[in-house]
Amino acid sequence: MNSNLQTINNMKTTQYAGIDYGLGRTNVSKSGIRFGVIHHNELGQSWYDGSEANYGEPTCPKCGNKANKARKSDFHCPGCKYHFDSDEAYGDSPQSFYVDSDGYKAEQGGEDCDIFVILSPYFTYAQFCSPCAPGACYLVNSLETPSENNRAYCFGHDWFEGGVAPYPVYSVETGEIVNPTA
C-alpha cells in the first residue's frame, strides 16, 4: 500500500460528532457545508507562504475615524480634516492573515492561532468545535463514520508538508475522496 494512503488510514479518528453549539445557524455556508477550523501549525510554512496580511481599513491617526483616499499615497480624514500618508493610515500589526484564491477563502485572526476555512474546493467530515467556534468543525478531529451534518470545508493535501492532509479530503464538486498525489 502507498505510504501516503497508510498515513490517512492510520490517522486519529473519533466516533463522537460533537455538539452543534451554532444550532445549524452559525459558521455554516449557504450550501450547508460548515466552516473548518485548523491550527496554523498544522499547515506549517504553506500557510505563511500562501496567506496575505490584512491591515484593515485606513483610519485617521489623530481621531480614529475612517479615512478617505486623497491621492496616490495620501489620505484625508473627513472628521478632523487631517491629511496624512499611507504609513500613518494603517496599524503596525496585521488584523488578520487571509487566503482568497484558487477556490479557497480562509482567515486567521492577527492574535489567533486558528484558521477558519470558509470556502474550499474540498471538505472533510470532522467533529464540531467547542462553543468557541459554534457550528464549525475542527478539521483534525476526523469522524470515523461520516455524517452529512459534519461536512466542513478544508485544505487539500497540497497545503501540508509531505503532501498528505491529516484527515480524509473529499471533492466538493464530486463528493469523491481525493487521494494525495505525493
Q: What is the pLDDT along the chain (182 residues), one digit of tens a residue?
A: 333 333 444 467 788 888 888 888 899 999 999 999 999 999 989 998 999 999 989 999 999 899 988 877 789 899 999 988 888 888 888 899 999 999 999 999 867 899 999 999 999 999 999 888 999 999 999 999 999 999 999 999 999 988 999 999 999 999 999 999 85
CA gap 34, 150 in Å, rounded: 7
pTM of the model: 0.83
CA gap 75, 66 in Å, rounded: 10
Q: Which residue has the cell 504553506?
A: 46
CA angle 17, 21, 26 (to 5 degrees): 110
Buried-state track 22-53, b at ≥16 Cβ within 10 A, e below 16: beeeebbeeeebbbbbbeeebbeeebeebbee
